[in-house]
Amino acid sequence: MYQIENIETDGLHSITKGYNLGIIGERINVTEIKHLGLGKSTVFQRSILAKEDSNLQYRIEAQFKTWDNLWRRQIAIEKTLKGENALKDLEQILIQALGVNNVINWSDLKDNTVFQEPNPKKSLGTDIENITRPLKKPYIEKPKEPNQQNYLPQFDFLDMFRSSMKQNKTDLANKLFEDDLTNWQIQCEQIDLQNNEIDKDFERETEEYNSQIERTRKKYDKLENAWRKKEEDFYVAQKQKNQKIANLEQKYLSKNKEAVLTYCELALNKSVYPKYFPKDFQLEYNEENRIIIIEYALPSLELIPTLKDVRYISTKAELKESHITEVQKAKIYDDVIYKIVLRTIHELFGADKADALKSVVLNGWVESVNKATGKLVNNCIVSIKVNKDEFEDLDLSQVDPKLCFKSLKGIGSSKLSSHIAIQPIIQIDKSDKRFVSSYDVASEIEGENIATMPWEDFEHLIRELFEKEFSVNGGKVKVTQASRDGGVDAVAFDPDPIRGGKIVIQAKRYTNTVGVSAVRDLYGTVLNEGATKGILVTTADYGPDAYTFAQNKPLTLLNGANLLYLLEKHGHKSRIDIKEAKRILKEKL
């Protein structure tokens, strides 16, 4: 290693300057250069005692030039390989799908995960330090009796003849004993008092310790109860989800319309296409005739890759790309569209375990710019109706896609790359017996608090508002009957078969926050209705769990502020006052 003093980089090249100390302590300049693209590096060193290296900059530039040539050649190879693979992927679009099992494995859809969050009660005790009973003060040794060694009078020879002197010494010994005994008793009493205080302190500490244990236990009991509730909710939700999947499986096997639509959607979503393909579709199913209709978004001609190879010209230090011709591009495009059509039909029939599909109708739509007007248009360029028994007799690994499409009486222009619109054989029917006549209310609510309006009027207001919103593209919105209709208050039909379709709308004239359950219900309704999207509109707002659940799902949540914005956008000024609405609605009870 060396001491770094300076680093220069342009994103691809790096020059690091520093120094080392030699054996005799002399400074040795170090210059390390790196090519960040290739991951190569080299080091130049020069002692300041040595002759000045005037060629260092030249050597650096020469090395970078060599590396740059290698780098550009590598880029050329990688781009060529990428272009070849892109064209090869298009060529293999039909073949690569023939060996795939499209049948949905219901078990794979079920959630068999285990609740992972640990029980917090296992941590009980780590928050509390154990207490130890303190040692008591010991008693001092009790004085011995006067007839024992410590208090025996010291008599001399004369005391044998003088009784008074002897008696005095005896009395003095007894007094010493009595004094020591009294002092001992006093000290014992003091020690008892001190030990009593120690016991009281220990009892108080023990009581506090037990209280702390009880508080901690209650805390962890509460945490554990919350944990058990979370665990229970997890498995309840898991069971409900798995039960829904099991119910869906049974409904599918009995050829229930909504279940068949969901199943076919799952099967088509398994299909892997290049990332730049739109991969969007709409489905409708006729139970009586066992016909499924699919409005399929096809890639436009502009999305087809054209790069054939890339060469590095060292004399010009540049990359030169070669592309397929426009004629070749158009031929590849037509071939790809026919293959997508055959592949999609193959995937639907191949997944049809319940024998719910007798026929498939596929209408292929392309969104592109009309070169004559410069405007974006969405045209149906292919349409085909195929019976299952006829299609299963084909060997798709050997057919010519265009000839096969034509032999199945598919409709399309002679050059699909021209994006010429055709009339679909059959289109999705947007009729629904639940729809009722509607009436306009927006003009009558100017300045009013719409959180207080009757719920029937509120539903028709939402219908009127969204009809104005969708009418720009020719869409229509219908209100359903005011009965238990599966949670559908209105249904919008956007005629754009790719971005639009059937859109379920629910209206909630609420004064409280809308919880996640309402959003879950909407999502279930979207699935049951076979809709492409769900919109929930409320005069209030949504909880954070509601927004979280709606993420990455075809759901849009509009709160009171969004609703007022839409009303004002279409020329209506109203207001939402939740407090006033709560008071008024309470007075009506």
Confidence label for 52 from pLDDT (cuts 50, 70 and 90): low
The structure tokens listed for 410 are: 């598919």
| Strand pairing category for 476-480 and 435-436 | antiparallel
Query: What is the rounded (10 degree) CA torsion for 279, 282, 285, 291?
Result: -60
Q: Is the pTM for the entire model greater than 0.85? A: no
pLDDT at 486 over 50: no
Instruction: Name residues whose C-beta falls within 8 Å of residue 93's C-beta, 6 or more positions apart in sequence.
Output: 273, 336, 339, 340, 343
- Locus of tokens 């190569």: 40
pLDDT (tens digit per residue) in 169-192? 677 777 877 888 888 888 888 888
Of 476 and 134, the structure prediction assigns the larger pLDDT to: 476
Q: In this predicted structure, which of 57-66, 89-98, 351-360, 493-502 has the lowest mean pLDDT?
A: 493-502
Collapse the DSSP code of 239 into the 3-class scheme (helix H, G, I; strand E, B; otherwise coil) and give the result.
Answer: helix
The domain 3-84 is classified under which CATH number: 3.30.420, 2.40.50, 1.25.40, 3.10.450?
Answer: 3.10.450
Amino acid identity for residue 183 in this structure: N
Average pLDDT, the chain: 85
Q: In this predicted structure, which of 81-90, 159-168, 195-204, 495-504 has the lowest mean pLDDT?
A: 159-168
pLDDT (tens digit per residue) in 214-263? 887 888 888 889 899 999 999 999 999 999 999 999 999 999 999 999 99
Which residues on neighbouring strands pair with residue 14, listed in sequence order? 9, 34
Looking at residue 221, what is its pLDDT?
84
- Say if residue 186 is exposed, middle or buried (CB neighbours under 10 Å; 0-12, 13-18, 19+): exposed
Instruction: Name residues whose C-beta falls within 8 Å of residue 285's C-beta, 6 or more positions apart in sequence.
Output: 257, 260, 261, 264, 291, 292, 293, 356, 530
Q: How far is CA 92 from the centre of its chain?
A: 33
Q: How far apart are CA 351 and CA 348, in angstroms?
A: 5
Looking at residue 128, what is its pLDDT?
54
Rounded mean pLDDT of 95-108?
91
Q: How far apart are CA 315 and CA 406, in angstroms?
A: 51
Query: What are the sequence ranges of the domains in the chain?
Result: 3-84, 92-102+275-418, 120-252, 435-588
Instruction: Name residues whose C-beta falls within 8 Å of residue 311's C-beta, 6 or more positions apart in sequence.
Output: 76, 319, 320, 322
**Integer Rg of the chain from CA:** 45
Looking at residue 496, what is its pLDDT?
64
Per the CB < 8 A criterion, the answer to whether 260 and 283 are in contact is no
Order across the sheet with 411-412: list the strands: 281-286, 291-298, 359-369, 376-387, 411-412
Rounded mean pLDDT of 287-299?
91
Q: How far apart are CA 335 and CA 588, in angstroms?
A: 68
Looking at residue 331, what is its pLDDT?
96
Q: How far apart are CA 17 and CA 33, in angstroms?
A: 9
Q: How far apart are CA 247 and CA 302, in angstroms?
A: 44
pLDDT (tens digit per residue) in 359-414? 999 999 998 887 777 888 888 999 999 999 999 999 999 999 999 999 999 999 88
Q: How far is CA 95 from the centre of its chain?
A: 34
Collapse the DSSP code of 452 into the 3-class scheme (helix H, G, I; strand E, B; otherwise coil) and give the result.
Answer: helix
Looking at residue 70, what is its pLDDT?
93
Q: How far is CA 508 from the centre of its chain?
A: 27
Looking at residue 436, what is its pLDDT?
62
Looking at residue 469, what is its pLDDT?
85
Q: How far apart are CA 236 and CA 118, in angstroms?
A: 18
CATH class of residue range 435-588: alpha beta
Looking at residue 281, what is its pLDDT?
92
Q: Considering the chain, what percentage of its residues have pLDDT values greater than 70? A: 87
Per the CB < 8 A criterion, the answer to whether 405 and 422 are in contact is no
Name the H helices within 254-276: 257-269
First to last CA, the chain: 83
Confidence label for 483 from pLDDT (cuts 50, 70 and 90): very low
The structure tokens listed for 65 are: 């030039």
Q: In this predicted structure, which of 38-52, 265-279, 293-307 has the lowest mean pLDDT?
A: 38-52
The structure tokens listed for 542 are: 């949504």
Looking at residue 484, what is its pLDDT?
38
Of 404 and 57, the structure prediction assigns the larger pLDDT to: 404
Q: How far apart are CA 559 and CA 238, in angstroms?
A: 30
Q: In this predicted structure, which of 82-86, 191-195, 337-341, 506-510 has the lowest mean pLDDT?
A: 191-195
The structure tokens listed for 534 are: 């769900």
- What are the backbone angles phi and psi of residue 173, rounded to the nearest 5°? -60, -45
Confidence label for 301 from pLDDT (cuts 50, 70 and 90): very high
Q: How far apart are CA 532 and CA 500, in angstroms?
A: 7
Rounded mean pLDDT of 275-285?
90
Looking at residue 203, what is its pLDDT?
85
pLDDT at 71 over 70: yes
